[in-house]
Amino acid sequence: MNIAVVVRQVPDLVEPLEIDASGAALDVDEVEFLINETDDHALEQALLLKESGGGSITVVAIDFGQVDDVLYTAAAKGADRIVKIPYDDDDRPPRPAEAAAMIAEAVKDIDAELVLVGSSAHDELEGVLAPLLALKLELPYLGVIRGVKPGEGGSVTAFKEFPGAAMAQMNVKLPAVLGILAADQPPRYVPVSRIRAAMKSTEFEEKETAAAVPEPNVTVLRMHHPEPSGRAEMLTGSEDEVAARLAEILKEKGVVQ
């Protein structure tokens, strides 16, 4: 099975997120980028499908942030081809509709039977890339998927998450785009030595796109950090002092005897 996997960069939420001078966007110069977690799962799902049934994996990414690191890691994990789409604007990541238009053009040339992409990204504000990509490719879409198994007769079985830990088992005829929430197993670890080796042996294919970029129809006026509610009583002191106070609280509230 020929699989295309789309990967993106998102801000690392462990690091502080600064707002830029415009007051209406994240300051990308101050942001640490890493692979969008659900895209990482999409890559893992592709690797699992390839391992079970053969085929090839092409990873596609827009050249933004520190995407090269992500792409070399993907190559080290087992991606066969890497396609990078040039992107001129260093100051802002592409909006989902913009990214969908660009990525669709690159994916069309790959002749993939299955396109896997993270079902969402935490910085998506104006739409969601995964379903928009399917629309651009004129392919069926199903998202919020936890696991994909090879099926019969040119199909796959996808497991779609529903509330209450329920999952819908769905048959998806290929070609199709699936929005992955989580792979059948967590993304694999790859040693740094293999990434270094991939940096020497991997050549990125650059794919210029001339996609018509849709005009934004949402105006971002301001971005800011939420005001702390001040609800929590914050406990300070050494670990033992804090633990002793918490134990008292748990006793006062009748949680422990």
Q: Please choose, from the candidates 161, 93, 84, 87, the residue with its C-alpha nearest in 3D space to the C-alpha of residue 123.
A: 93
Four-point Cα dihedral 41, 42, 47, 53, nearest 10: 130
81/108 with CB nearer another protein? 108
Helix (H) or strand (E) holding 198: helix 192-201
Give me the least distance between CB of 166 and another protein, in Å please. Answer: 5
Size of the site for another protein (CB under 8 A): 84
**Block residue for tokens 């295309």:** 4
Question: Which residues, numbered 95-124, are part of the site for another protein (CB under 8 A)?
Answer: 96-97, 119-120, 122-124
Structural tokens at position 95: 């909006």
Structural tokens at position 48: 């699992």
**Count of other CB atoms within 10 angstroms of residue 115:** 30
111/247 with CB nearer another protein? 247
Q: Determine which residue in the list 64, 131, 137, 148 makes contact with another protein, applying CB under 8 A.
A: 131
77/160 with CB nearer another protein? 160
Kindly report whether the peptide bond that precedes residue 175 is cis, defined as omega within 30 degrees of 0: yes
84/119 with CB nearer another protein? 119
17/199 with CB nearer another protein? 17
Q: Lay out the site mask for another protein across 221-250 (x = CB under 8 A, - = otherwise).
A: xxxxxx-xx-xxxxxx--xx-xxx-xx-xx
21/232 with CB nearer another protein? 232
> What span, in angstroms and rounded, lies between the C-alpha atoms of 47 and 188?
10
> What span, in angstroms and rounded, lies between the C-alpha atoms of 135 and 206?
24
The answer to whether the Cα torsion of 87, 89, 95, 101 is positive or negative is negative
Residue 241, CA distances (Å) to 230, 237, 245, 255 in order = 22, 6, 6, 19
Give me the least distance between CB of 162 and another protein, in Å please. Answer: 6
Q: Lay out the site mask for another protein across 9-48 (x = CB under 8 A, - = otherwise).
A: --x-xx-xx-x------x----------x---x-------
Give me the least distance between CB of 225 and another protein, in Å please. Answer: 6
Question: Which residues, numbered 186-225, are part of the site for another protein (CB under 8 A)?
Answer: 186, 217-225
Question: Which residues, numbered 148-187, are part of the site for another protein (CB under 8 A)?
Answer: 157, 159-174, 176, 179, 181-182, 185-186
Question: Which residues, numbered 41-80, are part of the site for another protein (CB under 8 A)?
Answer: 41
> What span, in angstroms and rounded, lies between the C-alpha atoms of 132 and 143?
11
Structural tokens at position 109: 């040339």
Give me the least distance between CB of 144 and another protein, in Å please. Answer: 4
146/207 with CB nearer another protein? 146
